[in-house]
Amino acid sequence: MTSEDDFTETIYSLSKKRGFFWGPSPEIYGGSAGFYDLGPLGKLLKNRLEATIRSAFVKADFWEVECPTVSPRIVWEASGHIEGFIDPITECTKCGQTYRADNLIEEFMPEEKAAGLTIDELTKKIQELELVCPSCKGELGPVQEYNLMLKTELGLDQEAYMRPETATSTYLLFKRLLTFFRQKLPGSVFQIGKAYRNEISPRQGMLRLREFTQVEGQIFLVESDAKEWPGFELVKDEELPLLPSDVQEQDIDDVMWTSVGDALKKEYFHTQAYAWCVHLAYLIFSGMGFPKDSIRLRQHLDNEKAHYAIDAWDVEIHTRSFGWIECCGVHDRGDYDLKRHQEYSGENLSVKVNKKPVVPNVLEIAFGVERPLYALLDNAYAEDEERVWLRFAPEVAPIQVAVFPLMGKDELMEPALEIYEEINESGLIVYFDKGGSIGRRYRRQDEVGTPFCVTIDYDTLEDTTVTIRERDSMEQIRVKRENLVKSLRNLVRGTVEFESLQ
């Protein structure tokens, strides 16, 4: 059994060796914390994840949009980010190192609760506890507010910021979207794109990035929609692994499998629409192929809620590297956002309900792609005396099928390349490898999580059959060449069991 740090190291070194991710980037110049490059396999994996996310949103009637990543200052004043998107920091008066004040306090005095304290209270706390700079023992300066947005300039002098989330840029489109929805709500949109957070000293590798890809789904709706949500009936009997706040207060961390309908009755969720949203978030993460007991839904405690949040639950994923990590937030943001943008822009962002103007509410599903990507690598890792392999669900595996001619000789190369082309045409992600012994080629594919390998040998020339080898069981079966592509597609989709192909 390896310790947590060792296991993180295991995942990082496999990722580096096999081209999942590299960094901190730019590596040849020493690297900046909070930036990573995705290598070829990491990019393929991310594409697969984004494809499952996109398809889940589209099935749930969301429309995709794409907005600029830079906006002028006024936008971030309206959104509340200039004022509220801040971390408390303290700077060492001797060596100049900066630290997150709340983290520093909790690190040295784990029993102290620093989250939620004001700037002055944090300064006092540091003095009371006589905390000094961890690296040089120097005196720590007064706690200051540090804004997490990356500042830039448009033209010569217009102050602007890189977006710290995609949601705000979506809200700015509300009038246009309303026309697109033919003046009818509810309407749902989502965005997948880059966001930036200038973390003061990001330390958790791929989990805390200064530049990352964010996914945010937004539903614009009015109160009557929230209470009677069209899709609710379809999901009300589905069970969710819930960890409500009252249970957490009793120090219990076993999930309670509860149906969506019962959770609403127990007031874990306040409206049908919000309950439906939490279920959708759960579906999205299940669709990435996490094992059932590695996903849970945790309700925010009162002191964790953001200023705008009425209802707030997180999707958490269990990792060997870090234990349970927050991967996605589902929030009922009320009418906060549109009201603020109405006020700051002077545009009317209301709809008519019973002939009266009403500013719509927003429900939101928000997460970064890199966290589940890391968590997926972490959850997929397996090893025994013989080999290391990644147990990705075939649907998200970066490479879905590898094709090997037994020998790199002409008579086998020709049918092997033909088969490779056929699989490629079918839309599966396929890789051709003719180098080294068959055993070595299997090991290489195991290590990057390829679920199926197809081998073309001398029997193929005789009886037109090929071998499919399954990654987890290492079992091999022969199938007729004419059935190969169909079988592979069914295997990847999970609509047929490997053994049944025999």
- In the bound state with Zn ion, the residue whose beta carbon lies nearer, of 137 and 493, is 137
- In the bound state with Zn ion, the residue whose beta carbon lies nearer, of 134 and 415, is 134
- In the bound state with Zn ion, the residue whose beta carbon lies nearer, of 136 and 461, is 136
For the CB of residue 131, give the shortest distance to Zn ion in the complex, in Å.
12
For the CB of residue 137, give the shortest distance to Zn ion in the complex, in Å.
7
Tell me the C-alpha distance between 215 and 192, whole Å: 4
For the CB of residue 145, give the shortest distance to Zn ion in the complex, in Å.
21
| Helix/strand/coil for 215 | strand
Q: Assess 93 for contact with Zn ion (CB under 5 A).
A: no
Amino acid at 95: C
- In the bound state with Zn ion, the residue whose beta carbon lies nearer, of 80 and 134, is 134
For the CB of residue 96, give the shortest distance to Zn ion in the complex, in Å.
7
Amino acid at 324: W
Question: Binding string to Zn ion for residues 101 to 140, with x set by CB under 5 A, is what?
Answer: --------------------------------x--x-x--
For the CB of residue 134, give the shortest distance to Zn ion in the complex, in Å.
8
Site for Zn ion in 439-498 (CB under 5 A): none
For the CB of residue 403, give the shortest distance to Zn ion in the complex, in Å.
57
Site for Zn ion in 294-323 (CB under 5 A): none
Stretch that binds Zn ion, among 15-23, 88-96, 275-283, 386-394 (CB under 5 A): 88-96
- Secondary structure letter of residue 378 according to DSSP: H
One of 92, 172, 185, 288 touching Zn ion (CB under 5 A):
92
Calculate helix-pair angle for 119-128, 101-108, nearest 10 degrees.
Answer: 30
Q: Assess 95 for contact with Zn ion (CB under 5 A).
A: yes
- In the bound state with Zn ion, the residue whose beta carbon lies nearer, of 89 and 325, is 89
Cis amide leading into 26 (omega within 30): yes
Query: Which residues have a Cβ under 8 Å from the Cβ of 11 and sit 6 or more positions away?
Result: 321, 374, 377, 378, 381
For the CB of residue 146, give the shortest distance to Zn ion in the complex, in Å.
17
State the residue for tokens 């830039």.
152
Give the DSSP per-residue string, 136-202: T-PBB---EEEE-SPEEEETTTEEEEE-S-SHHHHHTTHHHHHHHTTT-S-EEEEEEEEEE---SS-
For the CB of residue 208, give the shortest distance to Zn ion in the complex, in Å.
22
Stretch that binds Zn ion, among 94-102, 219-227, 378-386, 404-412 (CB under 5 A): 94-102
Stretch that binds Zn ion, among 38-46, 96-104, 306-314, 354-362 (CB under 5 A): 96-104
Site for Zn ion in 137-156 (CB under 5 A): 138
Stretch that binds Zn ion, among 90-98, 260-268, 326-334, 494-502 (CB under 5 A): 90-98
Stretch that binds Zn ion, among 97-105, 304-312, 363-371, 381-389 (CB under 5 A): 97-105
Q: Give the CA count within 13 Å in the CB-facing half-sphere of 275.
A: 31
- In the bound state with Zn ion, the residue whose beta carbon lies nearer, of 2 and 127, is 127
Q: Are 459 and 465 in contact (CB under 8 A)?
A: yes
Cα–Cα distance list, 365 to 285, 312, 430 (Å): 12, 10, 33
- In the bound state with Zn ion, the residue whose beta carbon lies nearer, of 131 and 309, is 131
For the CB of residue 92, give the shortest distance to Zn ion in the complex, in Å.
3
Cα–Cα distance list, 448 to 45, 419, 441, 445, 456 (Å): 10, 21, 11, 5, 21
For the CB of residue 135, give the shortest distance to Zn ion in the complex, in Å.
5
Q: Are 468 and 477 in contact (CB under 8 A)?
A: yes
- In the bound state with Zn ion, the residue whose beta carbon lies nearer, of 89 and 92, is 92
- In the bound state with Zn ion, the residue whose beta carbon lies nearer, of 127 and 476, is 127
- In the bound state with Zn ion, the residue whose beta carbon lies nearer, of 200 and 477, is 200
Q: Are 330 and 315 in contact (CB under 8 A)?
A: yes
Burial of 142 (0-12, 13-18, 19+ CB in 10 A): middle
- Secondary structure letter of residue 301 according to DSSP: P
Stretch that binds Zn ion, among 91-99, 166-174, 256-264, 325-333 (CB under 5 A): 91-99
For the CB of residue 95, give the shortest distance to Zn ion in the complex, in Å.
3
Query: Which residues have a Cβ under 8 Å from the Cβ of 38 and sit 6 or more positions away?
Result: 20, 21, 46
- In the bound state with Zn ion, the residue whose beta carbon lies nearer, of 95 and 115, is 95
- In the bound state with Zn ion, the residue whose beta carbon lies nearer, of 105 and 423, is 105
- In the bound state with Zn ion, the residue whose beta carbon lies nearer, of 97 and 144, is 97
For the CB of residue 101, give the shortest distance to Zn ion in the complex, in Å.
14
Tell me the C-alpha distance between 407 and 443, whole Å: 17
Stretch that binds Zn ion, among 87-95, 219-227, 281-289, 427-435 (CB under 5 A): 87-95
For the CB of residue 279, give the shortest distance to Zn ion in the complex, in Å.
49
CA 459 centroid distance within chain = 45
* HEC per residue, 411-435: HHHHHHHHHHHHHHHCCCCEEECCC
Q: How many residues bind Zn ion (CB under 5 A)?
A: 7
Cα–Cα distance list, 446 to 288, 392, 408, 487 (Å): 19, 10, 21, 20
Give the DSSP per-residue string, 219-240: EEE-HHHHHS-TTHHHHTT-EE
Q: Give the CA count within 13 Å in the CB-facing half-sphere of 43.
A: 6
Footprint of Zn ion (CB under 5 A)? 92, 94-95, 97, 133, 136, 138
